[in-house]
Chain A
Amino acid sequence: MSKPGTMTTGAQPGLLQRAGAKLGLARPELDYQSPLSSSESRAILDQRARANFGISGDEFVRRLRAGELPDTSVAHGLAMLAGEVLSQVRPR
């Protein structure tokens, strides 16, 4: 199994595949990635909440529950990752 975020290709790619790979077009033969554990999910939530909102994952959840986050795709997406109810995202 490959590491998270990596993809594997066949051992003997054909000419077209190699050419496509240079263009970023080759079709990867994806290994199945085992589901993220809840601790991994929390770590990703924390990282993405800091990157998008400058706050920790816990603070993101607090603000989400308080209805203090905007109605944006980023807020929705992180709410999904946090396992929170989306109705707590208040449209502004």
Chain B
Amino acid sequence: MRFFHKSVPDSELVPARRQAEAEERFTKAMNRALGYVTRSGQWRAARPAGTGLWTLLLDPTEAIPLPCDRDAVPWYLYAYLRFGFDVDERPGLEGGSKVVTREYIYSLRVGHDSGGEVLTWHWHPGIPDAPDPHLHVRGVEHIDVPGLSDMHLPTSRVFFEDVLLFGIRNLGVRCQEGGVENLEEMRLRTVRYASWR
């Protein structure tokens, strides 16, 4: 049964037979999402040197501009993601290989430099004092809450599509015609099959 038909190629509705195939599909899907808002860069996968986790990185630079409305500030996306593989247990895809996200950083900056970071969603379970998904809101101050911008504000799992949709809806990030609907559809599909959220 097909629940999604617009943004999901038929080739992705059958099990990925190998990890390489799962990785290729994952990278393509992430690039489909990114392609709705910018053509200034793309995700690339980096093989681990050993048997560790793979990394997705933005290329050609780690912070890529997001075309915005004229009156919006120049937003940039900075992101990395680390992933591994698991046995696919989704209905209709049993026995295949699927990508499982293990860590992510999605950051929205004003301008290219890291000092312009405003919002950044982190999930890095390897850090003992902040193992759960969280948000940093940089540059905010409150007289009664010192260090607010460095606090780990708890969130549920945040997907890449969430960040793009947030930027489109709130920050003046432009989107290709029909892109919002496709990003929403991709997000629903990802959430539906996510191993956790």
A residues adjacent to B (C-beta < 8 A): 4-5, 7, 16, 20, 23-28, 30, 32-33, 35-38, 40-41, 44, 48, 52, 71-74, 76-77, 80-81, 83, 85-87, 89, 91
Contact = CB atoms under 8 A, between A and B. Distances in A.
Shortest beta-carbon contacts, A-B, top 5: A5-B60, A77-B80, A86-B126, A36-B46, A35-B45
Contact of A87 (B39, B60, B80, B126): B126
B127 A86 contact: yes
Given A23-B174, A76-B124, A7 B42 contact: yes
User: Quick one: which of B23, B24, B38, B62 has the most chain A CB within 10 A?
Assistant: B62
A18 to B, nearest CB: 13
Contacts of B129: 91
B105 A73 contact: yes
Nearest to A74: B114
Contacts of A72: 114
Given A30-B42, A86-B127, A77 B177 contact: no
A35 B54 contact: yes
Interface of B: 23-24, 27-28, 31-32, 35-36, 38-42, 44-50, 52-55, 57, 59-60, 62, 67, 78-82, 103, 105, 107, 114, 117, 120, 122, 124, 126-130, 136, 150, 174-177, 179
B35 to A, nearest CB: 5
B55 A41 contact: yes
Contacts of B35: 7, 27-28, 30
